[in-house]
Structure 1
Amino acid sequence: MKLAYTMAPGRGDMDLILAGLARDLAARGLRVAGTVQINTAAPHAGPCDMDVKVLPDGPVLRISQDLGPSARGCRLDPEALENAVGMVAARLDLGVDLLIVNKFGKHEAAGRGFRGVIAEALALDVPVLVGLNGLNAEAFAAFVGGEAVALPPEPAALLRWAERAMSGQGEPV
């Protein structure tokens, strides 16, 4: 199975690493689908605002919702997330070299979100790279049956894995 994940320790680190990888691969002429989180500083942006870029060339979608200053907990907008999922699923049908999913989050852990797109990509023999955090690691492991390769959050390691996975050189490590 051509499936790998990476975990980065700092807030926003994963987003920068995966966005950079997607940019590098696209510059090489590879067809990359999926999403990367875009962190932009805006005057009225809240600390939990989340925007994702649908690869390869957009659009950028706000997948968080403003629940007011007293809100606690998840601000994910499920409808916006599913909109992004639909766009990525449609791009899989056009043929892609790699799927990047910025985060296997709460929705994926609960069986929604990008879970179906990940399964579809793997069924099409498209390599998949997923960003993961510790909160959802157990659910991810259960979903993939322990078949995912753990990669360090280093651009060179991710690029090496992606190149091997896309070239079909056996199980990349």
Structure 2
Amino acid sequence: MRIAVVSSPKRGETDRLLSQTAAFLLTQGVKLTGIVKVLEEEEDASCACDMSVRVLPNGQIIPITQDLGDGSDACKLDPGAIALAVHEVEKQPLEDVQLFILNKFGPEEADGRGFRAAIGAALEAGIPVLVGVGGPSRAAFDVFVDGLGETLPPDTDAIRAWCQQVMA
């Protein structure tokens, strides 16, 4: 099993590293699947957790947060939109895929849903997996991979080197 995790304590850095890694690999002709965060969106301080993801490799963009109205402090993640993103990734054939990238093993995955099955399918097919994980979901991720995940530093060169090594 080849699975690596990237975590950065700096807000947004893990998303940036994984999105830029995917963009770089796509320019190199690497066949990818998974999702990365859309970085081009203008960040509005009043909507700090509005987010969209880009489905790899085709570039379909799916907003995965919902407007809960002024004053709401509930989680804005839209489970239906996450399910759509999962469906879009899972419907793609895994033949010839060289790497699966997931921007975040988050609350959905920690609770046994989300991209867990897609990660498992990729690993079963011998496809290496690169995942971003935040602090709150790290324990659930470690249980999911049974301690077999390799931790990479939040560094572009280290991430690209790992990708090149596992795809060789």
Whether TM exceeds 0.5 here: the answer is yes
Structure 1 residue 94: Cα displacement: 4.4
Aligned residues: CA RMSD: 1.5
Over 3 Å counting, the alpha-carbon distance change for 1:132 and 1:44 in structure 2 is closer
Look up the SS of the partner of 1:91 in the other structure. coil
Do the aligned partners of 1:99 and 1:128 also contact (CA within 8 Å) in 2? Answer: yes
**1:81 aligned residue:** 82
> Which ranges of 4 or more aligned residues in structure 1 deviate by more than 3 Å?
42-45, 92-95
User: Given the two structures, how large is their TM-score scaled by the length of structure 2?
Assistant: 0.94
Over 3 Å counting, the alpha-carbon distance change for 1:43 and 1:149 in structure 2 is closer
TM-superposition CA deviations, 1:73-96 (whole Å, max 9, x none) = 311100110111111112243431
- Identical columns (%): 40
Do the aligned partners of 1:92 and 1:121 also contact (CA within 8 Å) in 2? Answer: no
Structure 1 residue 148: Cα displacement: 0.3
Tell me, which stretches of 5 or more residues in structure 1 are unaligned?
168-173
Separation in 1, partners of 2:11, 2:109: 20
TM-superposition CA deviations, 1:91-146 (whole Å, max 9, x none) = 24343110000000000000000011000100000000000011011000011100
Do the aligned partners of 1:15 and 1:102 also contact (CA within 8 Å) in 2? Answer: yes
Aligned residues: 167
**1:11 aligned residue:** 11
Q: How does 1:1-173 map to 2 (within 5 A)?
A: 1-39=1-39, 40-41=41-42, 46-167=47-168
Separation in 2, partners of 1:116, 1:36: 17
Tell me, which stretches of 5 or more residues in structure 2 are unaligned?
none
Do the aligned partners of 2:49 and 2:76 also contact (CA within 8 Å) in 1? Answer: yes
